[in-house]
Structure 1
Amino acid sequence: MMFTKVEHQRNGLDLIKIDNDETKIVFTNYGARIVTWKYEDNIIVLGNVVEADEFYQDNPYYFGASVGRYAGRIADGKFTLDGQTYQLEQNDPPNHLHGGSNGIDHRYFDYEIIDENGGYIQIIFTTVIKEADDHYPGDIKLKIVHTYDIDNRWTIEYYAESDQTTLFNPTNHVYFNLNRDNKEVDNHYFTSEKLGMHLLNEQNLPDARTPLDLVDLFDKHKIRLTEIFESEAPQLKAQIDKYNGLDHPFSIGEELVIENSQFLLKMQTDMPNVVVFTFNDTSEWDSDMNIYKPHSGFTLEAQSLPNDINIQGKDAPSILQNDRAFYSRTTYQIIEKL
């Protein structure tokens, strides 16, 4: 049996709590984000329920947030579309990051809850991103649907329409950790038919180089994070040493499976890339609520390649034409090992 409860905190922040006995998952209207996900007494998503009204307002790490209108970096905050050049906020100097300081992660969404006792519960978040908000061309009508079902599957769907041709590259910045007590995630295994790691340049941006094939490099499909972090392969080692872990887009197969000794986390997406960030530096946030250490979580951000507009030009997947609707779907499912 599944049921929903809404808790109203301060500052207009609502917590939407879904319980199906075995698991609990919580979302909020602030940033249309996931707050926590628990399997029995195991917390597998990083966040803060008790102090949510303070925790999410202040921290710089985008915990569980919907990110947009463009996830990732755009080189020098600049791009050209249909012959016109646009200059965006350079909030990650010299680059533009995650839609800027006025991105949707800081926005209060309208929402409605759909609970028809059909084995799932949906939260439909809606907003309008105005050109004046972030200085991209066009206004976007955006709907983000979070669905949770009795099979412990969390699905994110994005629906968007723009009144001008623009860029749209949304993601969710959820941090997972299948270990107890936020212990380092280095023991997690990543498995997929394809694990192509896009290398980053001096500006922390992917470029046109061929992705590093980790399946070929390690000669197997199931790779432990420790193996990646401790590899002596020159290209990989240089990247890991620079970032103290991963902060890289990947091209994956039809499914990506992450596991430790107790849980499997299965991910499927129709987006072309997944950014894996292993929370490499947790020192930027000076707060008593910052209980995190490096590698205490990892993201699986389904999106188009960051800076794709400056790499692929008119063929960039992030281009949203004004006469076309955008749709994308990503699922995460948690399974306990027997």
Structure 2
Amino acid sequence: MELIDSGLALMEISMGESSTKTRMKSIREAEQTNLRRIRESQERIRRRQEQLVRDPQPPLRYEFEKAPTDEQEAEDYRQMWEMCFRHNFGSIDAETSLGPICCTTGTNPADALPESCMQIFSIKVTDLNNDLSLPLEVHGFVAARDSVDRKRNYLFRCTRDNCQTLTPKDPFLHLTGPSRAVLLIDPVAIEVQLKVKGKKESEDEVLALKCFYFHERYHLEDGIRFRIPSKRCMLEFALAVLPMSVEAIVGIRVVDRSWPDHCPGLVVCSTNSVKEGKVVLLDFQNGELPTKSDGVVELARRVVSVDYPEGKLTVSVEASRGRFSARGTVDFGMKVPRGSSTRTCDLVFCKMLVTVAWSLVSCYRV
């Protein structure tokens, strides 16, 4: 009887594994079918975008052609996404529920590897139309969709009640993501829906409405920048393509004394492979360091992609008030396939523990 029971148990485990493998196989086959279906559409969009980047003004031979508006392109993208991905991934408005793998303990997923990723440093709003000028109160979102789950991985998101004010001194969107690494195995879809706040919601105006694909061959000015024209402004992205990279998840905690009152600060990180790119983890110009009761600093961004295998990460904390300034810097070497490191950042007036958890990335997580 025990042999029968154990045999049944093994059979159930085997069937469960078989069912999981079958489900994964069917999802991957569906993905491949969908990718083949939209390949031509992506290529047409890519050629059109590269033409606009080279020459924002349409050539004269297209004078009598009616170019698609931003609204039409956004609607075309929505229809295409609904046709290809709604069955497997639900609503087009769904946010990714997948965070970083954070394989610091336990067993790595079978497909967890260093992968090609896109590291976003900043997004700048520039070249406003004549009817717009800074300062502007902006709300909406910028999100990336990769082949992991096709859902929105927000880079920037502000509600109408909590707008960001763009100024001549600070025309950059204050990024809060991504929540996990953005994989570049297939072209990454970037969605932009930004509005300028009016006196009433009915008076809000569209600042930028775009849907475009980014791929590894995209031309980058100065090695890290590319510009996407929109109807009322230009969006300047600063990013890096990392052919082999892993995730670094950053955490900071105040462990001795405290941050001085009314003292603006900045937390940034950089890697040795892209020295000109800075990832702003937290920018608090109001002078109030956002911390929890246990001293943990609430960073706006935590996930950074780092080149594998020689990548190094530098985290800097800066403070300035009047003539007073202080800066602490700590360096981290890579620890993968799993591991974390902690360093003490001494800013004279307080000490912080900076922790970096290293993780491989996974292409298929369902």
TM-score (normalizing by structure 1): 0.29
- Structure richer in helix, relative to its length: 2
TM-score (normalizing by structure 2): 0.27
